[in-house]
Amino acid sequence: MAQASMPLARPTDTPDAPEAGSAPEAVALRPALFARYGALEQLRYDFPLVLVEDDGDGPVLQPLTQVMDAIVRQTAAPGPAGEALRQLVLRLEDAIRQRVAGGESDTLANLCRTCAADLLAASQEPPFGPTATNLDRAREALHVDGLVIDCDGATPKAVLAHAWKSVHAAKAKEFRKKIDGLILRLTDILKADFTRSDEAHTPAALESAIGASYGAAFDFHALSRVLSRGRAGEGLPKERERRIHWVLFVLRSQRFYGPGRSSERKPGQPEPHGFIFESCAAALDAFRERLPAVLEFVKALTIAELEIENKYRAELHDPVFERFDESDLSAEQLALLPASLVCLRDGRTDTAETVQAFEALASGLSIKVLIQTDDILGGTSPEPSRTAFGVGSARLAAMAMGLNSAYVFQASSAHLCRARERLIAGLRHDGPALFCVFSGAVETAPHVAPYLLAAAATESRAFPTFSYDPSAGPDWAARFDLTGNPQLTADWPLHRLEYQDQAMQRHGEEVAFSYIDFAACDRRYARFCQPGAEAEWGEDMVPASACLESTPEANGGRRPYVLTVGPDDELRRTVVDEKIIEAARRCNDAWRRLQELGGINNSHALRLLARERAVWEAEREREAPPPGAPEAAASAVPTVEPPAEAEVAEVAEPAAAGDGPWIEVSRCTTCNECTQINNRIFVYNDDMQAEIVDPDAGTYREMVEAAESCQVSIIHPGQPRNPDEPNLEDLIARAESFN
């Protein structure tokens, strides 16, 4: 193979090549686009990652760079004045990164402390110098803490377990708020009952209630007599009291969540249950074992809610709670309880476990399963892969979307932080969830950092990021989310690669980053890759991504290649075998299926669109006005709706019932004037508005006087009904203005 002494075709913009010592054996290829990321520990990216400790309101995961940037924003003055502080914070960040890369595992606060001490020692400044002051300021502005982790084989489990704990803590908070609220209201009921009891009204009880300071001012025996005499009603029925005590006991002794602050110091309180399991079988067993406690708790909860509404009716509700069993548990009730977490690692856990995981996911229970995979390519031999169903671990998530109620999430380690909201949504989801995470810690590609491999898996569509949330809506558009992948609408993302040739001339070209680039990193695939230095490049070579659409025959024997670099950063065209091209085609096919699910290049939609367009064009052809025809559109200006007045006018004046008396009932103000004049003529209806129920239950005089005293003038006396009533003439005249 080409030697380092040869003139190099070298990508420009390359940090120093790794030291010769770190170069692995003969063919350790990396995609050319990786040349820029030679020494990861010198770059600022998503890792190290801070697993932020809080109770679920915060960001849960935060890249160290973000934390440090926030410190700079908060503390450093703009412009040159803040430059020293800015530089110092960056050096602090760098020191932390080096330590984490060196395998140190500690919290951010501790790392900050040790690294700051190192920086201070290195500065050789006297005490209280500028470095010390700036470091103090920076550390004061540090408001998040948590374990700092790097990207390696342990990352997926660490991240998921941490996120689960966060969500669990938030759920615990919600739960305690709800349960404590119920406990408070129930104890209030008991307390109110007690304050009305004989026991509470004994002179001694009253005295202790008032307290010693004012005790002398009271005659507690007299007070006791007065209170006992004036007591209204009975106390709580014994049965209700017993029920409330039972509910309180169950709510207080539940073991789903810890007690939180309020009863930390209670001795003898049983430990809360654990919810992290080694296997799905263990999780399901635990569920079955705890089911009676779940049922009892849910029963107590429901009774509590009825009791505080004062709506528990023994004759109706007792039978319901006697029959109460598993089938009565609703999703809402179960959602209140913790979700279980099972972390599996493909290749390490039994294949049978994967099968069981699918069963657990299909059960609808709130079980969260992580399937970590460290190898998505699998061996090169045609034998079936180790993973269940022979589908390869890269397709597990896609399969799980068929399970209806399961939330499905897939991402590589490199994208976990960016996709954290969807990750957390999966943990919050009221039901099962599957998290497929590719760690990047591939044994057969030890020369590429796990972060880079993980990122490459996403970039090359070998392991796309996506999520499926069955609770987000009724259709795929609402449920499926493919964002987070680069250049979503393309088959492969395109990037610009710049390099120098042998003659030190700069070149640039658009290069696709495909599955082939990803596979080329893997030692197992080395035998299908033939790297060639610049001198060996020939006219018969074509970029491999261009060959994917066509058959080998159609390529006319041209040799497909991808651009790679070796440890020396020399650019090579690596000619790849048809076997890899085949695999890339399968990968592309899977990606296109995901695209369609995500509404991109959806074949149904495209067909429909084409058909509609054809129809539309045909119609336009037919309807096209003869040239020069006057614009018809002007007459089509929409007219404004007639004003609402019209609608109002339609409501007829309430018709007077002939000569009889009547009231505009809906305008009555319940003022009692008319009813006080005669409460047999004028009677309030169900809305407390006066109606004339019996016009003959009084005199015409009363009718007229009522009309006169009605301040809103809505009583219309009509004509007299008894012609023999005295002074009719005068009354008729007075009634005139009200009729």
Partner 1 sequence: MTATMTQCLLRLVEEDYTLADYQSDIAPRWCAGCGDSAILTAIQRLCREENLPPEKTVFVSGIGCSSRLPHYMNAYGFHGMHGRALPVAEGIKMRRPDLHVFVTTGDGDCCSIGAAHWIHAIRYNMNMTVLLHDNQVYGLTKNQASPTSPRGLQTNTTPRGACLEPLNPLSVTLGVANVSFVAQAVDWIPGLLYDIIAQAHRHRGLAFVRILQRCPEFMDHFYDDAVRDPTKTRILVHGDGLRLSPEVSRIYRNQEAHDPLDMARARALASLGDEIPVGVLYRDPSVPCYDDLRAGERPNTPDLIRTVLDEEFDKVTIWPQIGATPLGAE
Taking the least distance from each CB to partner 1, the nearer of 653 and 724 is 653
Question: Is position 234 an interface residue for partner 1 (rule: CB under 8 A)?
Answer: no
The residue count for binding ligand SF4 (CB under 6 A) is 15
Taking the least distance from each CB to partner 1, the nearer of 9 and 182 is 182
Using CB distances below 5 to 8 A depending on partner kind, what does residue 663 bind out of partner 1, ligand SF4, none? ligand SF4
Q: Please check whether residue 346 is in contact with residue 376, taking contact to mean a CB–CB distance below 8 angstroms.
A: no
Binder of partner 1 out of 650, 696, 724, 729 (CB under 8 A): 650
Evaluate the omega torsion of the peptide bond into residue 48 and state whether it is cis, within 30 degrees of 0.
yes
Using CB distances below 5 to 8 A depending on partner kind, what does residue 690 bind out of ligand SF4, partner 1, none? ligand SF4
Contacts of 510 (CB under 8 A, 6+ apart): 494, 495, 496, 497
Buried b (16+ CB within 10 A) or exposed e, 31-41: bbbbbebbebe
The percent of the chain in helix, strand and coil, each rounded to the nearest 5, is: 50, 15, 40
From the list 79-87, 178-186, 503-511, 591-599, the region that binds partner 1 by CB under 8 A is 178-186
DSSP-derived 3-state class of residue 62: strand
Using CB distances below 5 to 8 A depending on partner kind, what does residue 614 bind out of partner 1, ligand SF4, none? none
**CA 108 remoteness from chain centre:** 26
Task: Tell me which residues in 237-296 interact with ligand SF4 (CB under 6 A).
Answer: none
The span from the CA of 333 to the CA of 657, in Å, is 59
Taking the least distance from each CB to partner 1, the nearer of 120 and 190 is 190
Using CB distances below 5 to 8 A depending on partner kind, what does residue 27 bind out of partner 1, ligand SF4, none? none
Q: Residue 672 Cβ, how far from partner 1 at the closest point, in Å?
A: 5
Which is it for the CA torsion 329, 330, 336, 337, positive or negative?
positive
Using CB distances below 5 to 8 A depending on partner kind, what does residue 483 bind out of ligand SF4, partner 1, none? none
What track of x and - describes contact with partner 1 for positions 41 through 80 (by CB under 8 A)?
----------------------------------------
Binder of partner 1 out of 20, 127, 128, 265 (CB under 8 A): 265
Q: Residue 267 Cβ, how far from partner 1 at the closest point, in Å?
A: 14
Question: Is position 330 an interface residue for partner 1 (rule: CB under 8 A)?
Answer: yes
Residue with tokens 């249950």: 273
What track of x and - describes contact with ligand SF4 for positions 671 through 710 (by CB under 6 A)?
xxxxx------x-------x-------------------x
Taking the least distance from each CB to ligand SF4, the nearer of 253 and 669 is 669
Taking the least distance from each CB to partner 1, the nearer of 41 and 664 is 664
What track of x and - describes contact with partner 1 for positions 687 through 726 (by CB under 8 A)?
xxx-------------------x-xxx-------------
Strands 541-543 vs 559-565: parallel, antiparallel or unpaired: parallel
The CA–CA distances, whole Å, from 576 to 343, 462, 491, 546 equal 37, 17, 19, 13
Taking the least distance from each CB to ligand SF4, the nearer of 192 and 657 is 657
Task: Output the six-digit token pair for 152.
Answer: 């390696």
Using CB distances below 5 to 8 A depending on partner kind, what does residue 114 bind out of partner 1, ligand SF4, none? none
The span from the CA of 670 to the CA of 707, in Å, is 14
Taking the least distance from each CB to partner 1, the nearer of 337 and 526 is 337
Binder of partner 1 out of 74, 550, 669, 727 (CB under 8 A): 669
Task: Output the six-digit token pair for 427.
Answer: 């943990």
Task: Tell me which residues in 436-465 interact with ligand SF4 (CB under 6 A).
Answer: none
Binder of partner 1 out of 229, 238, 261, 323 (CB under 8 A): 261
One-letter-per-residue 3-state SS of 551-572: CCCCCCCCEEEEEEECCCCCEE
Residue type, 108: L
Residue with tokens 């020399």: 570
Taking the least distance from each CB to partner 1, the nearer of 477 and 656 is 656
The CA–CA distances, whole Å, from 321 to 328, 337, 678 equal 10, 20, 55
Binder of ligand SF4 out of 316, 391, 712, 733 (CB under 6 A): 712
Task: Output the six-digit token pair for 243.
Answer: 């029920």
Phi first, then psi: what are they for 434, rounded to 5°? -115, 130
| Residues recorded for the chain | 739
Using CB distances below 5 to 8 A depending on partner kind, what does residue 178 bind out of partner 1, ligand SF4, none? partner 1
The span from the CA of 453 to the CA of 446, in Å, is 10
DSSP-assigned letters across all residues of 292-309: HHHHHHHHHHHHHHHHHT
Task: Output the six-digit token pair for 108.
Answer: 């951010």
What does the DSSP 8-state code read for residue 140? H
Q: Residue 719 Cβ, how far from ligand SF4 at the closest point, in Å?
A: 19
From the list 380-388, 415-423, 622-630, 672-680, the region that binds partner 1 by CB under 8 A is 672-680
Q: Which ranges of 47-82 does DSSP label H, i.e. alpha helix?
A: 64-75
Question: Is position 327 an interface residue for partner 1 (rule: CB under 8 A)?
Answer: no
Q: Residue 336 Cβ, how far from ligand SF4 at the closest point, in Å?
A: 52
Pick left, alpha or beta for residue 473 (phi over 0 → left; psi -120 to 50 → alpha; otherwise beta): left
What does the DSSP 8-state code read for residue 22? G
Binder of partner 1 out of 41, 106, 180, 702 (CB under 8 A): 180
Taking the least distance from each CB to partner 1, the nearer of 213 and 330 is 330
Of 94, 93, 189, 88, nearest to 131 (Cα)?
A: 88
The span from the CA of 610 to the CA of 613, in Å, is 5
DSSP-derived 3-state class of residue 10: strand
What does the DSSP 8-state code read for residue 349? B
From the list 9-17, 553-561, 569-577, 669-677, the region that binds ligand SF4 by CB under 6 A is 669-677
The span from the CA of 598 to the CA of 480, in Å, is 6
Taking the least distance from each CB to ligand SF4, the nearer of 522 and 673 is 673
Question: Is position 208 an interface residue for partner 1 (rule: CB under 8 A)?
Answer: no
Q: Residue 672 Cβ, how far from ligand SF4 at the closest point, in Å?
A: 6
What does the DSSP 8-state code read for residue 532? E
Task: Tell me which residues in 626-665 interact with ligand SF4 (CB under 6 A).
Answer: 663
From the list 139-147, 255-263, 416-424, 433-441, the region that binds partner 1 by CB under 8 A is 255-263
The span from the CA of 400 to the CA of 403, in Å, is 5
Give the residues lining the site for partner 1 (CB under 8 A): 173, 176-178, 180-181, 183-185, 187, 260-265, 298, 301-302, 305-306, 308-311, 313, 316-317, 320, 328, 330, 332-333, 335-336, 644, 647-651, 653, 666-673, 676, 686-689, 709, 711-713
